[in-house]
Amino acid sequence: MPAGLIRRLLGRAPDPIDDAIWQQVAARVAWVAALDPGRAQRLRALASRFLQRKTITPIEPLALDPAQCATLAALCCLPLLEFGPEGLHGWSQLIVYPDAFRVNRSHVDAAGVLHEWDDELIGEAWDGGPLILSWADVEADLDDPYAGFCVAVHEMAHKLDALDGVLDGTPPLPRAWQREWARDFQQAYDGFVAAVDAGREVAVDPYAAEAPEEFFAVCSEYHFSDPALLRVHLPRVARHLERFYGRSPADARAAGA
């Protein structure tokens, strides 16, 4: 096959998601339904590209129909509305478990002692590897879309964060913005960790105190699912995320209410 033809085939535009299926996605996903027509069309194009490039692998006994696969693609692409399809680079598979899943962890401490344990997770993003989600938790997010949670957005935030080769809570950005982001996020993270360590009540999920990359991912969930809370409690972080992700669908919903 001629090289030019191979390049054209590899770079061909994805087939658009069927109208009837996309209508099912919008009916199921409040964040999609709240988008203005231009952003909804952009998301549909991104989700079509996702379905073209990614293998979605449900783990038995879970089975996913075309509308559910398109729903997963749309959720994973919500954080890419401004960033674009470059956010899909570096990995090829979405693995979907029926429910929370267990993974074995190991760590060798400073004394050379090996520690092993099991974690129960609802999502994970491997560096250079697959993105993994619990379908039960995806559905829980869809059932209560403005409660501060979206596991698909959380794991995609990790994928964006890792694009520059370092998982540190700062995705690839223009240099000047990157400096502002790193300064503001670090200050907000340090204050948040101090509050959690002191046992004070915090409005944002305390899991955000685990590491800077988790702080970014958890705050990304709030951007899409409860941006008003984020603006009140972490205003600088909220401003950066609105610039990075665009206007939250939750805000569009509130304005139209």
Q: How confident is the model at residue 29 (pLDDT cuts 50, 70, 90)?
A: very high
Q: CB within 8 A of 12, min separation 6: which ones?
A: none
The pTM is what?
A: 0.89
Predicted local confidence at residue 109, as pLDDT: 57
The region, left, alpha or beta by phi > 0 then psi within -120 to 50, assigned to residue 197 is alpha
Amino acid at 156: M
Looking at per-residue pLDDT, the higher value among 257 and 225 belongs to 225
DSSP string, 187-213: HHHHHHHHHHHTT---SS-GGGGS-HH
Mean pLDDT of 236-250: 97
| Structure tokens given for 240 | 């950066």
For tokens 């609802």, what's the residue? 122
Look at residue 61 and give its three-state secondary structure. coil
Residue 1 has pLDDT above 90, yes or no: no
